[in-house]
Amino acid sequence: MNRLLFGTLVVVTTSLMGSSFAVGKIGLAYFSPLLLVGLRFTLAGLLMALWVWKKPLPRSGTEWAKVGLIGFLQTAAVMGCIFLSLRTITAGESSILTFMNPLLVVIWGTLFLGVAYRLSQWLGVLIGLAGVFLTLGSHLQWETGTLFGIGSALAWSIATMLVKRWGVRFHVWVLTAYQMLCGGILLLIMGVTLETPKLIVTPESVFIVLWLAILASIVQFATWFYLLSHGDPGRTSAFLFLAPFFGVLSGWLLLGEVVLWNVYAGGCLIFAGIFLVNWTFAPRKQREESRKLA
């Protein structure tokens, strides 16, 4: 993949990721959290399933189970935690917490995939984690939204590793469609059983659901899975540093959220940490092989 295409796709997917926090928070005026995210991904999954019905489907129960697990983690767990977090913390704070995912991917890559990282990458992880704690400030013990934000990052990082490991077995659009559908149905069930459902139908609420389902789900997920399947999960995930920027920016533009100094400072540390992870990411063995080929 050439750099221009890669950069364009990164900007598209991260801007959609980040801005969906503010749009989702606006939607909470019309929907209960789990019901909103359940409607979003069930609709997105159905639309994509109709689009890709001629593509090769998973061929066994095991493959369907893998798609379902990715759907549970990437859609139900991540998005459920995000929308629940928005009840008690700002869209900007939720996006920053969620997008510490790249730092966790480095840790999981070391523990489970045997990837060797340089000292600068580990320094980036530590700086990024320090930024997360600074962002939380004194809210860690008091706001349940912070815990949901951290939970979304954990679930997303695990899903990232699974997509990289299993994603090549599936057509990218098929995986996108059915993982969203599986996660969306689960979220709908949770929305009518675990919370008091709220549904207010207006032109604005319909637009919010359609925007979240089509642009912020179908386009965003398909682009993200495409990038993951064509590159290293750690390096690709490191570019998610753009998403919190778009999350804070959209929260300011759409919601008038006031961003406190600790969020700015913590966000800068997170961006610096992820930059260090990405700047010299290639493992030493891979770089040596690249030099030989050159």
Q: What is the C-alpha radius of gyration for the chain, rounded to an integer number of angstroms?
A: 19
pLDDT tens digits along 44-98: 999 999 988 888 888 899 999 999 999 999 899 998 998 888 888 877 778 778 8
Place of tokens 């221009």: 4
Mean pLDDT of 225-245: 72
pLDDT tens digits along 253-272: 888 877 677 777 877 887 78
Q: Which helix (H) or strand (E) holds 76?
A: none
Among 271, 221, 228, 260, CA closest to 99: 271
Mean pLDDT of 121-147: 71
Let me know: does 155 contact 147? Beta carbons within 8 Å.
Answer: no
Between 116 and 214, residue with greater pLDDT: 214
* Percent of all residues in the chain with a pLDDT value above 90, rounded to a whole number: 28
The CA distance from 168 to 287, in Å, is: 24
Other CB atoms within a 10 A radius of the CB of residue 61 amount to: 8
The CA distance from 245 to 121, in Å, is: 21
Pair of tokens at residue 136: 């939380």
Mean residue pLDDT of the chain comes to 81
Whether residue 284 has pLDDT greater than 70? no
Among 223, 10, 272, 237, CA closest to 109: 237
Whether residue 233 has pLDDT greater than 70? no
Q: Tell me the three state secondary structure of residue 199.
A: strand
Give CA 236 to chain center in angstroms: 12
Q: Tell me the three state secondary structure of residue 10.
A: helix
Give the alpha-carbon dihedral of 128, 132, 137, 140, to 10 degrees.
-140
Burial of 109 (0-12, 13-18, 19+ CB in 10 A): buried
The CA distance from 272 to 249, in Å, is: 18
Task: Quickly state the pLDDT bin for 207 (edges 50, 70, 90).
Answer: very high
Mean pLDDT of 205-216: 93
Let me know: does 165 contact 94? Beta carbons within 8 Å.
Answer: no
pLDDT of 53: 84
pLDDT tens digits along 139-183: 444 567 888 988 999 998 899 888 878 877 888 888 889 999 999
pLDDT tens digits along 96-119: 788 777 778 778 877 877 777 778
Other CB atoms within a 10 A radius of the CB of residue 196 amount to: 8
Let me know: does 236 contact 228? Beta carbons within 8 Å.
Answer: yes
Give CA 48 to chain center in angstroms: 19
Whether residue 136 has pLDDT greater than 90? no
Between 18 and 240, residue with greater pLDDT: 18
Place of tokens 């954990």: 154
The CA distance from 26 to 108, in Å, is: 34
